[in-house]
Amino acid sequence: MIDTYFIPLVKILFVLNATLIAVTYMVLLERKVIAWVQVRLGPMRVGPYGILQPIADAVKLILKEDITPARADKWVFTAAPILVMVPALITFAVIPFGPSVHLFGRDIPLYITDVNVGLLYIVSVASIGVYGIILGGWASNSKFPLLASLRASAQLISYEVAVTMTLVSLIMTAGSLSMVKIVESQFNAGLWFIFVQPVAFVLFFIGGLAETNRAPFDMAEAEQELTGGFHTEYSGMRFALFFLAEYANMIVVSAVATTLFLGGWLAPFPNVAWLNVLELIPSWMWFLMKTFAFLYVFLWVRATLPRYRYDQLMRLGWKVLIPIAIANVVVTGIVKVLF
């Protein structure tokens, strides 16, 4: 009873809270990191070094006037941000933060659940997020958001193909769709998969940037073009949900990349005995550090690179990434058969 209901509930609450706090603090982290790259300081006023800025932002957004455009479709207008946020959050159900730990006389695995089609679950749930964007643009009942949402959804769908192809080659390498088993196979192989599948890693990273609408693929939300993209008409808490969903997606992509390519909760060189001193750092700490490294690279890329034009972005997805991904699958297959 406790095992089937109570412990998963505690884990869910814990992960959900941790994720939401992480997402709000991602906002601050982005502003700070980009500011430091740009020779500025970022938010400094609210709290020491601006630490309480996200709380100020949250309070502001909650207290804002709730404006719905006059001819907008009310139910869809409200549902759209939810449809973007929820898939990002429920992905965390299958992400493994660590192996089993021994607590209170029980073996508690550091993941909410281990579905044996975990990777497939993640990819499918992420696709539902696209609906939220399309509906958001549609429900606003205005020219610019509609155009922008169509562009954003086309971009997301195209890059999903590339990312999924990449994941196929990874599944072939790992031999399983379950997230926990992928990490364990990295342990068995003694190598993080980034060394085994470098091409897949690069493709996944670029695809991840495009999937989360981050620079250099953020044409859909670039202010200079269509004044705010698909969330032009949103304000207050609904806008906050869109905004936070983008960061939640970023964290999901980073977490998935960590699990698949950087060995999840494993320390570097997990099989080498004399480096076991690295095991002093708990496994979930390793996981968080690697995820954080990924997030930092996301922010770094945003501060540095110019933005792709929409047609160049689509061309990159279809004509460059997908062929390379397919080629990667073929090569992986050949290597697997021969060795």
Question: Smallest distance from the beta carbon of 309 to other proteins, in angstroms?
Answer: 5
* Distance (Å, whole) CA 44 – CA 234: 27
116, 276, 312, 335: residue in contact with other proteins (rule CB under 8 A):
312
Decide: 129 and 87 in contact? Cβ < 8 Å.
Answer: yes
10, 14, 40, 335: residue in contact with other proteins (rule CB under 8 A):
40
User: 107 pairs with which residues across the strands?
Assistant: 102
Decide: 234 and 138 in contact? Cβ < 8 Å.
Answer: no
Question: Should residue 4 be labelled a site residue for other proteins when binding is judged by CB under 8 A?
Answer: no
- Alpha helices, DSSP H, located in the chain: 7-37, 53-63, 74-90, 118-139, 143-174, 179-189, 193-196, 198-211, 223-226, 236-261, 283-304, 310-315, 322-338
The single-letter code of the amino acid at 314 is: M
Question: Should residue 143 be labelled a site residue for other proteins when binding is judged by CB under 8 A?
Answer: yes
Among positions 205-244, residues that touch other proteins (CB under 8 A) are 215-216, 218-219, 222-227
Question: Should residue 69 be labelled a site residue for other proteins when binding is judged by CB under 8 A?
Answer: no
Nearer to other proteins, 66 or 311 (CB): 311
Nearer to other proteins, 65 or 223 (CB): 223
Question: Smallest distance from the beta carbon of 225 to other proteins, in angstroms?
Answer: 6
Q: Give DSSP secondary structure letters for 21-81.
A: HHHHHHHHHHHHHHHHHTTS----SSSGGGTTHHHHHHHHHHHS-----TTS-HHHHHHHH
Question: Should residue 135 be labelled a site residue for other proteins when binding is judged by CB under 8 A?
Answer: no
How far from the centroid of its chain's Cα atoms is residue 315's Cα?
23
Question: Should residue 62 be labelled a site residue for other proteins when binding is judged by CB under 8 A?
Answer: no
Decide: 210 and 313 in contact? Cβ < 8 Å.
Answer: yes
Question: Should residue 310 be labelled a site residue for other proteins when binding is judged by CB under 8 A?
Answer: yes
Question: Smallest distance from the beta carbon of 249 to other proteins, in angstroms?
Answer: 20
Nearer to other proteins, 188 or 304 (CB): 304
Question: Should residue 309 be labelled a site residue for other proteins when binding is judged by CB under 8 A?
Answer: yes
63, 66, 102, 306: residue in contact with other proteins (rule CB under 8 A):
306
* Distance (Å, whole) CA 303 – CA 38: 8
Question: Should residue 308 be labelled a site residue for other proteins when binding is judged by CB under 8 A?
Answer: yes
Contact footprint for other proteins (CB under 8 A): 34, 37-40, 143, 146, 215-216, 218-219, 222-227, 303-312
